């Protein structure tokens, strides 16, 4: 077993990186995969909250890197999924306490015993971002169908390309069909056409995402919710399955949209 390291990045903050990391972790674990998530958003940790593991933190990422505990001690086991673990971020440290080399070493230590290592990255392109992408085998770029979020996603993709990292896959989060129909929001085809990387998921705007995150039970634990289903689909696509995209926006011909969506990206 050799885990694949997947880093979730965005450029802009608040687009849904942490939500995506938590839900993909749950979806992959529910399918029987061994998953460990790493919260690389040092100083602003919140993956533990969304996963409902906040009250069980003893050691964190910086403790591991600085040798104050063994790796296993910092891995919080999720009781709902025996094969899901979290390495939380330090709450009070600055991001320079971890280096890209530390992240690569850490992941190399985790790889043999897991299927997936998911890294939640901070917003921006500074040191924390470079830490998060250093060990990545694949990047998931999360954006919202908004001009400013897409602009920042484009910037991040440019950096990923310059770093010769990748492949990068696109997740469009918070798609709102009503706004698209009114012509007030970019369609997923618009976003995909501009960013020109392969699309791996479209997640609808869904208030149950917020409600379930607040309860520490990611929405993917509830298969009835549309956003939950979307995250399960992404998990299956990560595993190489071909899963049709949910039909979330249709400003013009429905079939035309679908065929455009599943066309792979330009690069």
Partner 1 sequence: MTEEIQNNLIQIKGIRDGLLVTVGQGEWDELRRALLRQVEDKASFFHGARLVLDLGDRTLHAAELGSLRDDLSERGISLWAVLSTSHTTEQTAQVLGMATRLPSPRVSRARGSQEGGSAGEKAVLMQRTLRSGTRLSYDGHVVVMGDVNPGAEIIADGNVIVWGKLRGSVHAGASGNPSASVCALELAPAQLRIAGYLTALPVRRFLSGLVGKKGRSQPEIASVRDGQIIIEQWNPKEK
Ligand X SMILES: Nc1ncnc2c1ncn2[C@@H]1O[C@H](COP(=O)(O)OP(=O)(O)O)[C@@H](O)[C@H]1O
Residue 19 sits in the site that holds ligand X (CB under 6 A): yes
Gap between the Cα atoms of 81 and 102, Å rounded: 27
Binding mask 142-181 for partner 1 (x = CB under 8 A): -----x--xxx-xx-xxx-xxxx-----------------
CB of 255 to ligand X, least distance (A): 25
Stretch that binds ligand X, among 78-86, 155-163, 164-172, 205-213 (CB under 6 A): 205-213
Judged on CB neighbours under 10 Å (0-12, 13-18, 19+), 245 is middle
Closest to partner 1 by CB, 49 vs 138, is 138
Judged on CB neighbours under 10 Å (0-12, 13-18, 19+), 120 is buried
Gap between the Cα atoms of 242 and 186, Å rounded: 25
CB of 65 to ligand X, least distance (A): 22
Residue 18 sits in the site that holds Mg ion (CB under 5 A): yes
Residue 205 sits in the site that holds ligand X (CB under 6 A): yes
CB of 209 to ligand X, least distance (A): 4
Residue 241 contacts by C-beta under 8 Å, 6 or more apart in sequence? none
Gap between the Cα atoms of 112 and 68, Å rounded: 23
How are beta strands 76-77 and 84-87 bridged, if at all? antiparallel
The values of phi and psi at residue 85, to 5°, are: -130, 155
Query: Angle 146-152-154 (CA atoms, 0-180°, nearest 5)?
Result: 100
Binding mask 100-139 for partner 1 (x = CB under 8 A): x------------------------xxx--x---x-----
CB of 74 to ligand X, least distance (A): 21
DSSP 219: G
What three-state secondary structure class fits 141?
strand
- Residue 157 binding partner per list Mg ion, ligand X, partner 1, none, with a CB distance cut-off of 5 to 8 Å that depends on partner kind: partner 1
Interface residues toward ligand X, by CB under 6 A: 10, 13-19, 173-174, 203, 205-206, 209-210, 213, 227
Interface residues toward partner 1, by CB under 8 A: 100, 125-127, 130, 134, 147, 150-152, 154-155, 157-159, 161-164, 186, 190, 193-194, 196, 267
Interface residues toward Mg ion, by CB under 5 A: 17-18
């Amino acid at each position: 077993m050799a885990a694949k390291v997947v880093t979730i990045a965005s450029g802009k903050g608040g687009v849904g990186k942490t939500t995506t990391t938590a839900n993909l972790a749950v979806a992959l674990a529910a399918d029987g995969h061994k998953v460990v998530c790493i919260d690389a958003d040092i100083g602003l940790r919140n993956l533990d909250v969304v996963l409902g593991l906040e009250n069980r933190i003893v050691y964190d990422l910086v403790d591991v890197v600085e040798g104050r505990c063994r790796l296993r001690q910092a891995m919080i086991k999720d009781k709902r999924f025996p094969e899901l673990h979290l390495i939380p971020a330090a709450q009070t440290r600055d991001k320079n306490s971890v280096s890209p080399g530390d992240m690569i070493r850490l992941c190399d230590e985790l790889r043999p015993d897991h299927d997936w290592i998911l890294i939640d990255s901070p917003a921006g392109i500074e040191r924390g971002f470079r830490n998060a992408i250093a060990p990545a085998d694949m990047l998931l770029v999360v954006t919202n169908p908004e001009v400013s979020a897409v602009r920042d996603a484009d910037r991040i993709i440019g950096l990923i390309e310059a770093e010769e990292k990748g492949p990068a896959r696109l997740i469009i989060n918070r798609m709102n069909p009503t706004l698209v129909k009114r012509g007030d929001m970019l369609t997923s085809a618009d976003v995909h056409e501009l960013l020109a990387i392969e699309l791996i998921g479209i997640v609808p705007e869904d208030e149950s995402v917020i409600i379930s995150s607040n309860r520490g039970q990611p929405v993917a634990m509830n298969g009835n919710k549309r956003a939950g289903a979307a995250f399960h689909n992404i998990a299956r696509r990560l595993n190489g399955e071909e899963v049709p995209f949910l039909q979330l926006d249709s400003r013009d011909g429905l079939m035309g949209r679908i065929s455009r969506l599943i066309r792979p990206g330009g690069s």
